[in-house]
């Protein structure tokens, strides 16, 4: 046996799309890449600080960044758009100014849009956040895994696998536990598999949550 390749990277040309769409000359590439990373961190931090409390969770599925010559389009795919816009348009304006302040070499317009994801629990990112929230409030992990699988099964997916690693239930010795439902063919390129890794910070340390969701096969 060996290590498993990240299923997103494995399928990039085939059934997986990129999250950023822009072209850059080699000398500008690293600068734009760093900007992209900063923008994504900024958005996630904002959501984490302002919106995530014990009952809600941020619910960002993916952030798409498209750059044209003088326009940057940021599309935030979120499962619960109401959470982000609860302050009646002031919420996203604040986010927009935050992100704009990060962009060096200004005079580029920034356009931010929210896209709603139908069936939020079919996205591994949102599911992982849900599990992390439960684990941080010290719910038994096996129950959390089963509940998460049930939530995902309501949307039409063909398979799901959840793996949690670390000090489960506060044990001294860390271990890895996983639960699977349906089939998750990681070796099949034409299988559309979404993957996410999310760390959950508990009082005992960090629990790593990995989720594979098998959507469908072309």
Partner 1 sequence: MASTAILAPASAASVVALPSAIASSASSSRATIFKVSPSAAHLSTFEGLRADGFPSSSLNEVWQTSAQTWSTPRHSRLTVRAAVASEAPTATKQKIRIKLRSYWVNLIEQACQQILEAARNSDAKTMGPVPLPTKKRVYCVLRSPHVNKDSREHFEIRTHRRLIDLENPNAQTIDALMQLDLPAGVDVEVKLS
CB of 22 to partner 1, least distance (A): 6
- Closest by CA position to 180, among listed 215, 212, 209: 212
CB of 1 to partner 1, least distance (A): 15
The interface region with partner 1, picked from 61-69, 170-178, 198-206, 209-217 by CB under 8 A, is: 61-69
The footprint of partner 1 on residues 143-182 (CB under 8 A) is none
CB of 122 to partner 1, least distance (A): 25
Contacts of 135 (CB under 8 A, 6+ apart): 141, 144, 164, 200, 202, 207, 209
Per CB under 8 A, 106 contacts partner 1: no
Per CB under 8 A, 210 contacts partner 1: no
In angstroms, the Cα distances linking 52 to 17, 31, 190 are: 28, 31, 35
**Toward partner 1, which CB reaches closer, 26 or 106?**
26
**Toward partner 1, which CB reaches closer, 24 or 171?**
24
Rg of the Cα trace of the chain?
Answer: 18
The interface region with partner 1, picked from 62-70, 133-141, 179-187, 195-203 by CB under 8 A, is: 62-70
Per CB under 8 A, 66 contacts partner 1: yes
CB of 5 to partner 1, least distance (A): 9
Given its phi and psi angles, is residue 88 left (phi above 0), alpha (psi -120 to 50 degrees) or beta? left
**Toward partner 1, which CB reaches closer, 2 or 106?**
2
Q: Which ranges constitute the DSSP H helices of 66-123?
A: 81-84, 90-102
Per CB under 8 A, 21 contacts partner 1: yes
CB of 21 to partner 1, least distance (A): 4
CA distance 109 to 36: 15
Question: Of these, 8, 19, 22, 185, which contacts partner 1 (CB under 8 A)?
Answer: 22
Per CB under 8 A, 73 contacts partner 1: yes
The three-point CA angle 96-195-118 to 5° equals 60
- Matching residue, tokens 């699988």: 149
CB 125 within 8 A of CB 196: yes
Strand (E) or helix (H) holding 111: strand 109-116
Per CB under 8 A, 27 contacts partner 1: no
CB of 131 to partner 1, least distance (A): 26
Binding site for partner 1 (CB under 8 A): 18, 21-26, 66-68, 73
């Amino acid at each position: 046996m060996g290590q498993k390749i990240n299923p997103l990277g494995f399928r990039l040309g085939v059934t997986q799309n990129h999250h950023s769409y822009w072209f850059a000359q080699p000398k500008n590439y690293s600068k734009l890449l760093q900007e992209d990373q900063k923008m994504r961190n900024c958005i996630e931090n904002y959501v984490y600080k302002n919106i995530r409390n014990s009952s809600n969770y941020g619910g960002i599925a993916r952030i798409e960044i498209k750059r044209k010559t003088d326009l940057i389009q940021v599309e935030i795919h979120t499962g619960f758009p109401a959470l982000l816009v609860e302050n009646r348009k002031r919420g996203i304006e604040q986010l927009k100014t935050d992100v704009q302040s990060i962009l060096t070499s200004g005079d580029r317009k920034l356009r931010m849009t929210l896209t709603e994801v139908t069936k939020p629990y079919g996205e591994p990112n949102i599911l992982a956040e849900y599990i992390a929230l439960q684990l941080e409030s010290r719910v038994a992990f096996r129950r959390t895994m089963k509940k998460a699988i049930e939530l995902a099964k309501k949307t039409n997916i063909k398979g799901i696998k959840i793996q949690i690693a670390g000090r489960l239930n506060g044990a001294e010795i860390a271990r890895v536990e996983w639960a699977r439902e349906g089939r998750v063919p990681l070796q099949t390129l034409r299988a559309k598999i979404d993957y996410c890794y999310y760390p959950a910070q508990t009082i005992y340390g960090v629990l790593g949550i990995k989720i594979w969701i098998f959507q469908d096969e072309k």
